[in-house]
Chain A
Amino acid sequence: MIQFKDVTKTYPNGVSALRGITLDIEQGDFVAIIGLSGAGKSTLLRTINQMIKISTGTLLVNDIDVTSLKGKKLRRFRRDIGMVFQSFNLIKRTTVIKNVLAARVADMPFYKSMLGLYSKKDRMIALEALDKVGILEKTYTRADQLSGGQQQRVALARTLAQEPQIILADEPVASLDPVTSHQVMSDFVKVNKDLNITVIANMHHVDIALKYARRVIGIKEGLIVFDGPSSDINEDILTEIYGRQLSEDELMGEE
């Protein structure tokens, strides 16, 4: 359970990214956050795992005040939250399995991670994560030889190898083609259903967001302007979120 209460974030350069967010997200939910570029979607997502510190308000994750976490406790807390990025953020020059194993590094003593001494259990977790997203056969391929969709699956497997309760996805399909986007989103749905992992995704493409998420949160200039089931979204609400009507081709994603 994630609880925002009057959360604001002002960057040192004076930009107000969040201007009073109040929000509850239940464990196991699938939430899409939509809004214009610069509306505060990325900031909102990154406050949850404290990659960005909030300015005021309270932010509870499973009843823990995350703003008070520091050092070791903060890193321990982050173990339970996975993150997936628009540009995948894989180490391109190394193999798929090593990329996935990197998610286990935080749990290891430093000398072991330095020498790359992953335990048998770590290897099993990594391989099973690759199997869950259906690219087990690419285990020993170099990451830069995979297609964009496959790379994002490796990134999802890396996150699963962390055994998280929450996955934060920052524009996970924005650099993928429509067909691949749907495959990757299906993986997220599967992970959400099978493992009861909360998925919170910033989405660029509205129709993909509506198709896969149970709940949609619309953000405009740092404020929530819509929060409800994806079935409740209509033209008027989209106009409210995006400041103007979306044309047919801006709703891309469906083949």
Chain B
Amino acid sequence: MEKVKQLFRPKPIVLSNGKQVQPKLNPMYYILPILVFITVYSMNITRFSFATLIARGEQFWIIVSRMIPPNFAYFSNVVNPLIATLMMSVVGTLVGVILALPMAYASSTTMNQSNVFRGITKAISSVLRTLPVLVLALIFRIIFGPGTFAGTVAIALFTFTIMTKMFFELIDTADLGPFEALLSSGANRIQAFWAAIMPQLWGQYYSLALYNFEMNIRNAAILGYVGAGGIGIILNERLAWRVYPDVGMILLVLMVTVLIIENISRTIRKKLL
């Protein structure tokens, strides 16, 4: 590596009085070739080709055009799965963010003084965090059978792992002054956490919970694909039968719902912070 670097080393700059300055090697000289190599290699493996993209790309617009106009009569069939999707997100998010609170406490370096205990909790949530929500849904479908319950549990567990990580990092950066004051007044660590740390963080906690809720609505929409209930089931079915006007209606309802909820959530979150 050193020899390779030597090859690219820029020439020293000589000042008028003879002093020399050695400019640093721009790392792009070796990072760029590596990036190009990885990209080309990956395109070979995945058989990615711009030619196909251009040739078949028009199919996308053909499908989209068949969805327009959407079949508005199909709306009544969308309502119930949509409500199921929303409820999965609400319940899953709620359970996840509540359970994440004690777990975040246990994962925080400043709160949990036991290195062993903290190590274990962190290891558990790291492992769980590697599983995508779709994989979780597949597992819970096997355990609980197909339906919204499996989807809800998958969302709850997914939210729990994400929220734990996001929130324990906030706890670690909270002002410890009030915490010390509470400890010195005879409170135990959990009481001091609740009375001195959480009042600093409630706004951010609710904000993160809402952010997770936004994410989970999109997650819940695709969970139907693995049989875990919600709007994804009819989406999958209509797509398989190629009833594009119905698909258009489902997507339209989904988009409008997500947009409305995102905007409400964003407005509330702005107020909270």
Set of chain A residues within 8 Å of B132, measured between Cβ atoms: none
When the two chains form their complex, are residues A105 and B187 in contact, meaning their CB atoms are under 8 A apart? yes
Q: By the criterion of a CB under 8 Å from any partner CB, how many residues of chain B are at the interface?
A: 21
Set of chain A residues within 8 Å of B203, measured between Cβ atoms: 93
When the two chains form their complex, are residues A113 and B178 in contact, meaning their CB atoms are under 8 A apart? no
When the two chains form their complex, are residues B199 and A113 in contact, meaning their CB atoms are under 8 A apart? no
Set of chain A residues within 8 Å of B200, measured between Cβ atoms: 91-93
Q: By the criterion of a CB under 8 Å from any partner CB, how many residues of chain A are at the interface?
A: 34
Least Cβ–Cβ distance between A77 and chain B, in angstroms = 7
A220 at the interface (CB under 8 A from B): no
A:91-140 near B, CB below 8 Å? 91-94, 98-99, 102-103, 105-107, 110, 113-114
Set of chain B residues within 8 Å of A51, measured between Cβ atoms: 180, 183-184
Set of chain B residues within 8 Å of A191, measured between Cβ atoms: none
A82 at the interface (CB under 8 A from B): yes
When the two chains form their complex, are residues A75 and B181 in contact, meaning their CB atoms are under 8 A apart? no
When the two chains form their complex, are residues B178 and A98 in contact, meaning their CB atoms are under 8 A apart? no
Least Cβ–Cβ distance between B38 and chain A, in angstroms = 45
Query: Chain B at the A interface: mostly helix, strand, loop or mixed?
Result: helix
B186 at the interface (CB under 8 A from A): yes
A150 at the interface (CB under 8 A from B): no
* Partner of B178 from A79, A81, A89, A159 at Cβ < 8 Å: A89
B223 at the interface (CB under 8 A from A): no
When the two chains form their complex, are residues A113 and B177 in contact, meaning their CB atoms are under 8 A apart? no
A204 at the interface (CB under 8 A from B): no
Least Cβ–Cβ distance between B176 and chain A, in angstroms = 9
Q: List 11 A-B contacts (CB under 8 A).
A: A51-B180, A78-B183, A90-B181, A92-B200, A93-B200, A102-B181, A106-B182, A106-B185, A106-B187, A110-B190, A162-B186
Interface residues of A (CB under 8 A from B): 49, 51, 75-79, 81-83, 85, 87-94, 98-99, 102-103, 105-107, 110, 113-114, 155, 158-159, 162, 168
Interface residues of B (CB under 8 A from A): 175, 177-178, 180-188, 190-192, 194-196, 199-200, 203
